[in-house]
Amino acid sequence: MSSNGTAQQADHAEPLESTIFVAYGALLVMAILPIFVGSRASVKFPKKTGKGKKKGGVDEDDDGSEFFRLEDAYWFPIIGSATLLGLYLLFTYLDKDYINFLLTGYFGLLGVGALAKSILDFSRFLTGWEIKGDYSLQMWKRDKEILSYRFSIFHLVVLGSSIALTAHYVISKQWLLSNLYGEAFSASAIALLNLDSFWTGIILLSGLFIYDIFWVFFTPVMVTVAKGLDVPIKVVWPRDVIALVEKNGIWGLIGNVEKASFAMLGLGDIVIPGLFIALCLRFDYHNFLASKKGKASSSQKTWSFPKPYFTACLISYILGLITTVTVMHTFQAAQPALLYLSPACILSALGTAFVRGEVKALFAYTEGEDVDEAGKSKKGTSEATTESGEKSQPALSEATAAVAPRAPSQKPTAASGKMLSDILEPKKPERPVSPPNVEKTNGAVKRPAASAPKAKSKQEEAPVPAGSPDVGDRELAQWLSKSGAKLSGKA
């Protein structure tokens, strides 16, 4: 199918039962693998405490995940329908070779990054190593960091391999490489695009449930687009791989084989349920951190925590996919996979929550409410927290900021007010105090003559010791002290 559906090509004779089940088994494995890898990569561990590291937040390898919100879930089926219909019209009235040429270049550029990230994630999964970078690349625009990337020699080798494989795929369109990119796109999407709540996941799966049924059963649009697109938006496997090898030798697997019949599974049938399954895994980890055992090991990376929601949802996904393939094989017709996968995922999560008595906690769980780069929370509140977990102080007035400028060597952090707390010791004033009438002339601070003479105290009549601040600076310091700020140095 296309991005949301399972289909089989019926232009060739039906292969033997044993070989077609090999194809179905291969599709099942290719569906589970990116979900498992992407779900693990979507879990963000707390930062470790220790020398040079801050407590709180997420691990330093956090790559800036995007959150899929409720309004996105409402619009997604509509935008998806418009895109699908647009592709169908392009294939109907234009030469599909030109369309595939443009889309191949586009997916080739995306594929380099997706494949490199997936290789790194899979390497971490196999070895258990963090594979951090020994070198750092940073780009700043004024005081704002716009790029920060850590890499090592291994990262460069992976990037070079990804570029070489992409070039080979663009030239050959080899089906195994197409599957490799499809797996990479799926795993990267599941890792980087996070559902912000179970409500969002349920609305998304329900909307695409209707979307899939309509475009597969009531129109030829999705099947036409799926067969016409020659880009990695699906995973495929030869329906008779044994005959393919017997006829073409090993070239049948690694070469560009034409006129072969393939069973296929759209990436949408992997990614959309995969986002929900990944959310279940993060909810399991959230529950673990809230437990007594989790609080004791919250500063350590561990996968040894109970995963009831993830396990139940993944097993339900596998059963739903098996049901899809069984119906497709029985009726020899394309099936909307989300017709079976959406209810399987939703009911498994709700059923697990009901059995465990956590239905309220399930729907109350949300993500993506942390502080953004501007120091404001995602909900739009103006309070921010420093890396130590304390609330940041409000910005200084122009007069105070002019007296206590930030050292030019310091860099701002994501939490606003961090450097101000290093300079000032603010406290809430009992009442507002007006600033003294102080002005500067040619760098010298002077105070205008008072309108009426006042009796001076002995302290004021005493001579000013050498090297001490002049009268203007001393009065300004007294005013800053009453206003709740402390002068850090002479203006």
| Angstrom distance (rounded) from CA 50 to CA 385 | 20
Dihedral sign (CA 92, 95, 97, 99): negative
pLDDT of residue 150: 80
> Could you give the residue numbers annotated as active site?
212, 269
pLDDT of residue 453: 54
CA atoms within 13 A on the CB side of 263: 26
pLDDT of residue 474: 63
pLDDT of residue 313: 97
| Angstrom distance (rounded) from CA 36 to CA 314 | 9
Please state, as a whole number, how many other Cβ atoms lie within 10 Å of the Cβ of residue 115. 26
| Angstrom distance (rounded) from CA 304 to CA 29 | 24
**Residues with Cβ within 8 Å of residue 247, at least 6 apart in sequence:** none
Place of tokens 């470790």: 48
Going residue by residue through the chain, which has 491 residues, state the pLDDT in tens, using 9 for 90 and above. 444 455 444 444 455 567 788 889 999 999 999 999 899 889 887 765 554 444 444 444 455 578 889 999 999 999 999 999 999 999 888 888 888 888 888 888 888 888 888 888 778 778 877 777 778 888 888 778 777 778 888 888 999 999 998 898 888 888 888 899 999 999 989 998 999 999 999 999 999 999 999 998 898 898 888 888 888 888 988 888 877 777 776 666 766 666 678 888 989 999 999 999 999 999 999 999 998 888 887 666 778 899 999 999 999 999 999 999 999 888 888 889 999 999 999 999 999 999 999 999 999 999 876 434 333 444 433 333 333 334 444 433 333 333 344 444 444 444 444 444 444 445 555 555 555 555 545 555 555 555 555 555 544 455 545 544 455 556 666 666 665 554 444 44
Cβ neighbourhood burial of 65 (10 Å; 0-12, 13-18, 19+)? middle
